[in-house]
Structure 1
Amino acid sequence: MCGIAGIYQPKGIEIEEVITLSQTIKHRGPDDEGFFLASPEQVQHCRGNDTISELQSLKHLSEINYSPNLALVHRRLSILDISALGHQPLTTADERYTIVFNGEVYNFKEIRQELEQKGYGFKSHSDTEVIINAFAEWGKNCVSQFVGMWAFVIYDNQENTLTLSRDRFGIKPLYLFKNENCFAFASEIKALLKLKAVDKSISNENLGSYLAFGTTAKPYQNLFENIVDVEPGCNYQFYLEDFSLTKESYFSIDEKVANNKADIETNIQNFEELFNDSIALHLRSDVEIGSCLSGGLDSSAIVYSASKQLKDVPLKTITAAYQNKIIDESEYAKMVANDLKNVKDIYTYPDAKTLVADMDKMIYAQDLPIGSTSIFAQWEVMKCAGQNNIKVLLDGQGADEVLGGYYNFAGIHLIELLKKFQFNRFFKEYQQLKNNFTPQIKNAVLRAAYYYLPSSLQKQLRAKERLSYNFINPNKVNELQLVIPKRGGKTYYEHVDLSVKFGMYELLRYEDRNSMAFSIESRVPFLDHRLVEFIRALPNEQKIHKGWTKYVLRKMLNDKLDDKVVWRKDKKGFVTPQQDWKNELMKKLTEELKDSEIPSIMDRSYVLQLCDKDFSNASHLSEFWRAYSVIKWYNIYNLKG
């Protein structure tokens, strides 16, 4: 896990800006630092102040007395082959290709064996060297063979191109900026904002959409006008000579998969084999691995499989716990840990005072505003992991979106039964879901039915139910002509795909930034693409069965973990006592907001009114926190507009 960045400017690059790029993303890779510089006359690998001692023979960046037009920057968090042989940027033996890479390609050993049979030699035991040789052999199509998470950029000095690639789901981040004089990329937006050439303008359309709906109108967008998310599942090609940029998709969640017609028992067995294989790959590391453990189904499954595969090797788990028993899940986490001999469970207790103390640091780390205080619970988990010297942490991100663990999936499933005129089954499963999933199943159906309404009616209903339109100055609402993002689908499969593109994509950003703020590599085994594709092909009735969501996962864990964990009915997720915290902090929050600059499209008086409101609606409370975080973000990054 690392941080990468780079600049191409035909008229030359200031070395100070290259140093600034590296220092800005140092938290992503405190173990090593490397630079690659190129100009028409020469190419050179350089060291910086944080380069490992074994490579002090490299020329220091400060000693460069010419102006390169291309610079590649790498910050290393050493996980695989922690020796000097894993140093980046890495150039091939023939000096044609140079790579900077962030992430893990977990099946690198298998790919390496294939490349060795083709005559390739290897000096290290890193996945980076496998990636660059795979690229030399198969070109950009090599990514179709990778199981993992990645963002990499490869410079080809023969074709004079930069190839940018991002993993299938956007687990690892990559952003770019391009104008007529500068092309730049980085793992985090904050690094790009440090460059003089980068336009830092906010997109009022995207910010307005975020305030009103909690997301941008289209997936894979951020709140800046000219800083672009490299899209998941895509390879980009930048041509240095004419400054052109092309994009090619190698994977799309929209692609249809063949229906799996196997019986449920067979599929439970197949699911277990794929899941355990994913865990085995995600356990490949040369440093200690731990895991998040919320007490929920997803993290419990990961901890169980990992602990069994590690056998006698200790596995530390981190749990966010609360004194408020209504939201606390630590008793379930304790059940899981007590059943597994090699698990050492550790607990952290997020509170309001720490939230205030860390809010600025957390939002700075995130690059963008945060949706709710649940991100702070994850922040505290990552902080605790760092304090306990855990360098790699497994987490359950993606399971709810792919397996259908959220309320809307249950509602859509029931509506699909009605559409097929299966009325008896509808009433039976409605009651089962009410008993086993949520007493509020009627609301789940109504929320799913919302996506069948015309967009104009959706907007009217949303305006009545939500606060968020009111955050925007009235004179700006009509000017922006906001379109409701299509976050939910009319079918189960469509809803999965949109949940992956919108909600999960945002959660993956939280995951990456929170973990990397503490120099921790976070791994998400549920997003092994082989497992995702298998789950997507399952019939709905094998995901929601007899009123139980995530049925194949529950059946896999049956008789392995306590029934109170496996057959839980009170799904919570990363919840926090937002109402308690708001009440405790309101005086300070109000003072902050009164003294803060706010984006011109926001209505300051309305936000201040909400400071005195005692929210009974959880959605309204989350909207308040979202608006508060927008204002904090705006001031932390000293933005204008």
Structure 2
Amino acid sequence: MCGILGQISFKNTQQWNIVKFEKSLSLQKHRGPDDKGIYTDDRVILGHRRLSIIDLDSHAKQPMISKCKNFVIVFNGEIYNYQEIKEQLKQKGYSFHTKSDTEVLLNAFIEYGIDAVKQFIGMFAFAIYDKKNAKVYIVRDRLGIKPLYYYQDENNFTFSSEIKSILALNDIERKIDLDAVSSYFSFRYPILDNTFFDGLLSLPPAHYIELTNHSLKIKEYWNVSNQFLEQQNDKGEEFYIKELKKILESSVKYRMISDVPFGSFLSGGVDSSVITAIMAKSSNTPIKTFTIGFEEEGYNEFDFAKMIADRYHTEHREILISGENYIDTMEHLIDYKDAPLSVPNEVPLYLMSKELKKYITVVLSGEGADEIFGGYGRIFRSPYDYERMKHIDEVDWTEQEKEEFCINFIRKYGVMCFQHEVDHFINIYSYTSLKEKKELLDETIDLDGIEKKFIEKFLRYFNELKNESYYNRLMYTFEKIHIVGLLQRVDMTTMATSVEARVPFVDHRVVEFAFTIPLKYKLKWKSEEDKFMSKLLMSDKISEVHDTPKYILKKAYEDMIPTEVLYRKKMGFPVPLNNWFGGHFNEYAKNILLDDKARKRGLYNIKNIKKWLNSDRLGKDHSFAMKIWMLINLELFCRKYFDENHFGSN
């Protein structure tokens, strides 16, 4: 696990500023504190910061040059099945001088070309320079576990694991991307493959860039859409349970391969508990586990985490944080992310990573299970609302039942009907509605025009599965959109402390298999009576009351996880924002959002923000407080990166 940086010249020759490049690379020292390296010729300059995980020997350092001297690689990530690939390559006559997965990746590319990536089980962002053919390939893993940003001008193409290095290396006119601002409030991160910096982009997951002097091509190399066809061949619950356990346990065991100490995040929820249980079963020594929570009552899950820790005899540690600690860390963490924080739990994740670094360097985490197994019941059950309203004139209900259903629908969605599934999807998926954004943001921002771009993106994904059910189109779009933001947060909060996070549920084999499982095994009605009782209810009243989200995963591990953990209501990762901003942090919010800098920013509707800050809802409504929290993050980010020219080029 590392940080990478590279620059490719569009000219035939280039004199590189090595000092400036080294300084830009050093901004990623937290990603790779153990070593650094730079390769340069008249066309490229490649840099690497190393966090040693597999093969700690210095011979495995990067940039790594092939035996034939024609290829150079910089690589961030892990190829977990590198030993198997290595054996294949040995049979083809390749020899190896290190025990690292980097050398295996490089030789696999030499043998198979870009198709080598299809063999990799892992997480990765890498660049390979083919000197002989004057080409550079820049590749990002299938699900977007590892970040990869890029920027180009008329002279050079720059790529990096972190935005700050690109800003430091290039003379970029800093202009905030308004599409990203709107996307942030709706979806918590920029979903259009953009960033908060106009012109600085993110390479989409499962894509690679092929770069020559004359062209730049971006191509997709993996897509999960065809897996849904397998659902038509229902193989039965027992098959899916058996196969899921086989693949998931393989995924966890792969992610336990390490030459440094490892452990797991243990929140007390289903996903981290399953991973911890598999790890414990697969290890001869106690697993190190960590959980975090807040001092406020009801804002930690220590009891449930301890239940799992006790059952599997882990070396367990609890970390408790306060509100003051939270705010100080929040401001600091923006420097690592090069963006506003997306969700409040990024702070506790970072603080936990900071603590666990004292004991381990690799941590396994449970991200991704909700997205692929239907864990967000209120969202994944919501197509049931849409379909019933769409066909309300055709159902055999009394007029009184139809009236009650319509009242419930309007109460939940604020409208009587939706023209298209995508309109319904945006309604349930947007954290901040278009109406609220128009209240909080400056009227000069074309929010309607930006919203059309989001609709176009969602329509593209929906149309890729045009013959599938709305349920499957929704889940597919979640895989395309939601997981990326989630993984970005995990990578940032852990790498900021020089810890490598590994995510077994986002193994592409697990994801592919999950999308072959029919819906009824993911969102399972508790009984026919429960289904009947739900006919007039909305998804938020149905989920976890009349159905079981993530059923197949829970059923598969009933013998390993206590019922109290497995079937309790989903809690998420609560942060007591409304407690704080309704109390002594309210003044903090006002000092930031109502001062002259914010007023002159041209982003906010200060008059309406003032009303929100003085509202009683701030101390009572978490969603209301969350939007104030997001405004604060955006303004703190703008001050650091646009007022102070943070990580500026010089």
Name the TM tier (shorter chain). Answer: 0.7 to 0.9
Is 2:474 the counterpart of 1:474? no
User: Paired residue for 2:34?
Assistant: 31
Q: How many residues align?
A: 592
Which one-letter code corresponds to 1:534 in the other structure?
F
Q: Which of 70, 95, 115 matches 1:141?
A: 115
State how far apart, in whole Å, the 2-side matches of 1:535 and 1:454 are: 23
Alpha-carbon distance, 1:167 to partner: 0.3
Within the candidate set 251, 260, 264, 1:291 is matched to 264
Give the secondary-structure state (helix, strand or coil) at the position aligned to 2:125.
strand
**2:84 aligned residue:** 110
Residues 225-240 of structure 1: pairs in structure 2 closer than 5 A: 225-239=198-212
1:174-199 deviation digits (Å, cap 9, x = unpaired): 01111111111100111111123334
1:613 to partner: Cα distance: 2.7
Distance 1:399 1:442 in 2: 31
Does the 8 A contact of 2:374 with 2:549 survive in 1? yes
Aligned equivalents of 1:457, 1:307: Cα separation in 2: 39
Specify the code of the residue in structure 1 equivalent to 2:552: V
TM-score by length of 1: 0.86
* Distance in 1 separating the partners of 2:416 and 2:209: 36
3-state DSSP of counterpart to 1:513 = helix
Shift of 1:501: 2.3
Aligned counterparts of 2:487 and 2:417: Cα–Cα separation in 1: 27
Instruction: State the partner residue of 2:342.
Output: 371
Of residues 59, 63, 83, the one that matches 1:85 is 59
Q: Is the 8 A contact 1:415 1:445 kept in 2?
A: no
Secondary structure of 1:28 counterpart: coil
Q: CA separation of 1:140/1:574 partners in 2, compared to 1, >3 Å: closer, same or farther?
A: same
Please, what TM-score do these two structures have when normalized by structure 2?
Answer: 0.85
Cα distance in 2, alignment partners of residues 481 and 235 from structure 1: 27
Q: Which amino acid aligns with 1:18?
A: F
Distance 2:361 2:350 in 1: 15
Q: How does 1:481-496 map to 2 (within 5 A)?
A: 482-483=451-452, 485-486=454-455, 491-496=470-475
Q: Which residue of 2 aligns with 1:610?
A: 612
Q: Does residue 312 of structure 2 align to residue 332 of structure 1? A: no
State the shift of 1:550 in Å.
0.8
Distance 1:271 1:442 in 2: 39
Aligned counterparts of 2:355 and 2:559: Cα–Cα separation in 1: 31
Distance 1:82-1:464 versus aligned 2 partners, 3 A rule:
closer
Contact 2:182 2:447 in 1 (8 A): no
Q: CA deviation at 1:590?
A: 1.9
Give the SS at the match of 2:56: coil
Aligned twin of 1:13:
16
Distance 1:442 1:313, change over 3 A: farther
In 2, Cα distance between equivalents of 1:147 and 1:183: 28
Q: Equivalent residues in 2 for 1:234-633 (5 A)?
A: 234-239=207-212, 241-242=213-214, 244-257=215-228, 258-259=230-231, 260-310=233-283, 312-341=284-313, 343-386=314-357, 388-406=358-376, 407-412=378-383, 452=420, 455=423, 467-477=436-446, 482-483=451-452, 485-486=454-455, 491-545=470-524, 546=526, 547-568=547-568, 570-582=569-581, 583-595=583-595, 597-598=597-598, 599-614=601-616, 615=618, 616-633=620-637
User: Structure 1 residues 635 and 622 mapped into 2: Cα distance closer, same or farther (>3 Å)?
Assistant: same
Q: Secondary structure at the match of 2:549?
A: coil
CA RMSD of aligned residues (A): 3.1
Q: Equivalents in 2 of 1:405, 1:449: separation in Å?
A: 26
In structure 1, the partner of 2:539 is none
Give the residue type in structure 1 aligned to 2:88: E
Cα deviation digits, residues 78-126 of structure 1 (max 9, x gap):
0000111210000000100000000011111111111111010011111
Distance 2:609 2:501 in 1: 35
- Return the offset for 1:605: 3.6
Distance 1:573 1:396, change over 3 A: same
Secondary structure at the aligned position of 1:560 is classed as: coil
Instruction: Output the amino acid matched with 2:606.
Output: R
Equivalent AA in structure 1 for residue 291 of structure 2: T
**Distance in 2 between the 1:351 and 1:282 partners?**
32
The offset of 1:563, in angstroms, is 1.1
Shift of the alpha carbon at 1:466? 5.6
Cα distance in 2 for partners of 1:419, 1:621 equals 34
Give, as a single letter, the amino acid of the residue that structure 1 aligns with 2:144: G
Give the AA of the match of 2:561.
L
Q: Which runs of 5+ in 1 are unaligned?
A: 40-68, 427-439
Give the CA deviation at 1:384.
1.9
Instruction: Call closer, same or farther: CA 1:34–1:494 in 2, change over 3 Å.
Output: same
Aligned amino acid, residue 578 of structure 2: Q
* Secondary structure of 2:485 counterpart: helix
Cα distance change on mapping 1:450 and 1:224 into 2, 3 Å: farther
Task: Name the CA distance, whole Å, in 2 between partners of 1:38 and 1:461.
Answer: 48
Q: How far apart are the structure 2 equivalents of 1:376 and 1:168?
A: 27
Distance 2:410 2:373 in 1: 21
CA distance in 2, matches of 1:585, 1:573: 23
Deviations 1:320-339 (A, max 9, x none): 12333433211110110010
* In 2, Cα distance between equivalents of 1:84 and 1:203: 41
Moved more, 145-154 or 440-449: 440-449
In the alignment, which residue of structure 1 is the partner of 2:402? none
Extract unaligned runs of 5+ from structure 2.
Answer: 398-407, 463-468, 527-546, 646-650
Give 3-state SS (helix, strand or coil) of 1:485's partner: helix
